[in-house]
Structure 1
Amino acid sequence: MRESGKQKVINASEIGNYLYCRRSWWYALQGIPSENQQSLADGKVAHQKIGRQIRQVKLIRRVLLVLLILLIAALGIYILQGAAR
């Protein structure tokens, strides 16, 4: 939470944190660090790994789509050349 003039501004992330765990949100607001730093670090690493895997899958899907389009185009050209004979 930050202050803008005389008003306190709450962002969407803070609302999400509050809804997920009110006590955790309150501790963060008080500046009290979490006691399970290792679990948080492990979770961050796991999320980064999942993110990389998702990006790889998306890239593979795009490559396969391009290959499929090229295959269909080549097949179409082959058929048209055979019909022209």
Structure 2
Amino acid sequence: MKRSVLRASEIGAFLYCKRAWWYQRQGLVSENESAMLEGTFTHQAHARTVLAARLLRLLGWALLAAALMAVAVGLTLTVLN
């Protein structure tokens, strides 16, 4: 009996859609490759947008922390003088 390696991505494909996994194992090509490729590009663009939003939020928090530290230093210097 010939055993083949079952990859983690195949398990994911099987859990998502058993028929699509079977077609893939048979070497059959999907008829909607262009739609799938467009979906991949859309997901990649969304991922870039989410990353940019996270970086901007991090920058916002850093600027807020810097402003609070500047206020604290300013108040400390005012009290000491």
| TM-score above 0.5, yes or no | yes
Letter in 2 for 1:67: L
Query: Is 2:6 aligned against 1:10?
Result: yes
User: For residue 20 of structure 1, what is the aligned residue in structure 2?
Assistant: 16
Query: Is 2:61 aligned against 1:65?
Result: yes
Higher RCO structure (Cα 8 Å, ≥6 apart):
1
What runs of 5+ residues in structure 1 fail to find an aligned partner?
Answer: 1-5
How much is the aligned-residue C-alpha RMSD, in angstroms? 1.2
Structure 1 SS opposite 2:4:
strand
Letter in 2 for 1:29: R
User: For residue 75 of structure 2, what is the aligned residue in structure 1?
Assistant: 79
What is the rounded CA distance, in whole Å, between the counterparts of 1:20 and 1:73 in structure 2?
Answer: 50
**What is the TM-score when the length of structure 2 is the normalising length?**
0.90
What runs of 5+ residues in structure 2 fail to find an aligned partner?
Answer: none
CA shift for structure 1 position 57: 0.8
User: Percent of aligned positions with the same letter in both sequences?
Assistant: 35
Query: Is 2:60 aligned against 1:44?
Result: no
CA shift for structure 1 position 30: 1.0
Higher strand fraction (1 or 2): 1
Runs of 4+ in 1 over 2 A off after TM superposition: none
Aligned residues: 80
What is the rounded CA distance, in whole Å, between the counterparts of 1:29 and 1:53 in structure 2?
Answer: 34
